[in-house]
Structure 1
């Protein structure tokens, strides 16, 4: 049958069907090319990599200083979050306000949230709200390493999943959720339910298991009682092992 013998409605139907098939083929080709490592965007600048890194660092720091001037009440949180993000998986020294005698913590930066940081030591996990931090620095004698890429294990399969199924991939792993979405102390503590912790506030300290974290309070239950502690009053939270718990109980009895 010649094209001139086809009615207009039939020809239009054939044309649209062919066009739909082309779209399907294009999408399949894109998926295949992504899986083969092709189809990625080109570099964002013509500058050499090392020069581009310096320019980006300068821009980020300038933006941070300008944001601190525009939002002075948020400056401390913005600076601390930026500092800890550059020190992820590295050793840091943090001083926390506690009356006249600041408490010193030394550990590796683990989780950086919207309003807190988590440090890891050989024995404990420590949650520290930004509002209670007096200062933070790299311990004397350790190198000042601004990039954390040396701790990043490249995963080709993960990269492909992030490109093709971002939301599904991120939602399936807590580590990726923390990486792409900044948690608050309240939401992070909710994931540590039934963990035995020591909660230190400006007026007292309490040891027990985390029951829940909601309405700006964390509920901790000991053998004798259950207590709801406002998050704004917390100086720090530290995990407690059974041996450490027995030692604390012996000290209290004395």
Structure 2
């Protein structure tokens, strides 16, 4: 299968240009109560229950559902997005709208199962009004949940979709087009910034150098590293089994 044919798997046939909602400046929000950065949870169920009851920032007043996770809690790959959109707010699941459907197709194009091979979550767990970029106070309130998700999942690879996710996790404020596809290390884990699927929906071209072409290169690189790590872990398991038998 050619690169062009593979990249065509990313098409979702989005409806005629979605009406762009004008960004509205939010009213000055009252400072959120201090969030204990060192909070820990016994497991993800405890974290989810706490997140669902969360009132730590102004987004709690406008949400329909708290959007915590989907995918495999034992996955080697974690994918972190910016925040829920309308579909996610309605269903309580991350990346289920058009951008999420495209993300699934991207993963499937290299034989990664969205429900078995990855764990998906967002920087903020509640939808910002009008899908605006989350504010610093909102990201700070949610960060303890995100850090605990990473600790409990213990992924070997973290994919950061879009500039907001990169900034929230690593503090890097560079534009996503400048850093996408580059491996880095964060807290002892491999990280890679990638283009957000929503950006691909707005850029239909599959020519060399286009966003879809770049994503195809990046996801192949991720799959190769995933297989390498998986092989290493299986080798370690085999060595441990042999030692036990000895």
Same fold by TM-score, threshold 0.5 exceeded? no
Scaled by the length of structure 2, what TM-score is found? 0.21
Which structure carries more relative contact order (alpha carbon 8 Å, separation 6+)? 2
Richer in strand (by share): 1
Scaled by the length of structure 1, what TM-score is found? 0.21
Task: Give the greater-gyration-radius structure (CA).
Answer: 1
